[in-house]
Amino acid sequence: MAGSQPFAVTRRAFLGAASLAVALGSRASGDSTLRKPSRFLFTSRGKTGLFDGEKVRDLDFQSPTQQATWQPTGTLRDGRLLLLSMEPRRDGPGRPFGEYYTQTPTHIWAYDLEGGSLQELCTKDRLAPFVTPALVLGEDRLLVQVVRKNVGQIFSVKLDGSDPREFTKAGEGLPYGLSLHPDGRRVAFHLASPAGYQVWTSDLEGGDRRLVAAKEGHLYFGTSWSPDGRHVLYVDCTPGTDPGHDWADVCIGPEHRVLTTGGSMWFAATYGDPNTRGGGSNTPAWTRDGRILFPRRLPDSRVAWEYQAQRPDVDHFNRDYKPDLARGGTEIVRLDPKDGAIASLTHNNPPAWDFRASESPDGESIVFCRAKVGEAPAIWLMGADGTNPRLITRGVDDLGADHPRWF
């Protein structure tokens, strides 16, 4: 449970942490039925795919050493994609997640989508085997997440990895879910610390910190700045009553205003059957006009993967598959933070689990994931008003696609 132990590597700390790492940039496209959407990337079975507005294709990265998985994590200021790869995992049966995951070497890359060139970054002054990108700060610097001796820390480094500067101190907790203010001068993040999961903002060096949300028994997670830079968006989960972190409520700061009640947002996405299981943290997303997209829980819904709080988590999942107990689902909704008005954008009969929605940079489309009980997720696209929903991809060998990101 968050806050019950000093931060080293906790269950929530890596449940979707890499997927929250860096906000992608944006590029607009021309017109089609939905006024041809901007492009987006996604992940499927450890690979990265691209939807260019018309078709889906897999991206093939030719690295000099074997890499087990690839995922997009951002866009550099020069337009190249920022990628994270991991070598085959250094684990063994029954070993706790925290003992093996961060012993697996990672690699950070810049990829020229048009030319196909791949350049490894952060190779100088290597701080640890496990280094992942957290935020693009400017033309030549990144914030990176580093784990050494099971303790997490954030550093600011140049793109080649040189000139490391501490953004946080070892032992104080690990910030992730980082986002950059629209003016580029402040960072919002949540801090997994001995005091619990808190939301903060700081300057680009980690100083001038301002607390946004912190309360005993509450897990505050994920951040994103509103388009006008006035608010920070995040969620609130109560692990004491929800140890699996299945549900949360939507909040904004700096005044810590809770916009929903009763754990109405699906937080810890879980899907698939025992052969295709997966998941990762859901976070709400801003639209260009300052409203919020999130996956709302239908009344009395229950997931098929039941979290087992009574036993040690040795696989970073710790759930039993109980499809007969599952019911209901979620729908994508748009929330106006000014007056609390909610509009439903997706509808399924029978219900399904819709999640991970985000609006395209041109404001014309929304991409999201959809999964039925026992099925791996597929990626769908619809108009910004919820019209014309259509299936885009079921992923590699129809075994699932997740984590769509516009760029």
Q: Give residue-wise pLDDT tens across range 179-216.
A: 999 999 999 999 988 788 999 999 999 999 999 999 99
Query: Which band of pLDDT confidence, cut at 50, 70 and 90, is reported for residue 232?
Result: very high
| 284 secondary structure, DSSP code | -
Share of the chain above pLDDT 70, in %: 89
Residue whose pair of structure tokens reads 């931060």 in the numeric block = 7
What domains appear along the chain, each with residue ranges and CATH number?
12-406 (2.120.10.30)
* E strands present in 314-401: 319-321, 330-335, 342-344, 353-359, 365-371, 378-383, 390-393
Picking from 13-22, 170-179, 279-288, which range would have the lowest pLDDT averaged per residue?
13-22
More confident residue, 321 or 152: 321
pLDDT of residue 24 exceeding 80: no
Picking from 6-20, 71-85, 98-112, 211-225, which range would have the lowest pLDDT averaged per residue?
6-20
pLDDT at 62: 86
Q: Give residue-wise pLDDT tens across range 361-383.
A: 999 999 999 999 999 999 999 99
Picking from 36-40, 151-155, 356-360, which range would have the lowest pLDDT averaged per residue?
36-40
Q: pTM for this one?
A: 0.90
pLDDT at 151: 86
Residue type, 184: G
**Left if phi > 0, otherwise alpha if psi is -120 to 50, otherwise beta: which for 19?**
alpha
User: Is-contact 132 144, C-beta < 8 A?
Assistant: yes
Q: Give residue-wise pLDDT tens across range 89-123.
A: 776 666 666 667 788 899 999 999 999 999 999 99
Q: Give residue-wise pLDDT tens across range 299-338.
A: 999 999 999 999 988 777 999 999 999 999 999 999 999 9
d(CA 238, CA 355): 20
User: Is-contact 46 69, C-beta < 8 A?
Assistant: yes
pLDDT of residue 51 exceeding 60: yes
Q: What's the average model confidence in pLDDT over 328-355?
A: 97
Q: What's the mean per-residue pLDDT of the chain?
A: 89
pLDDT at 94: 61
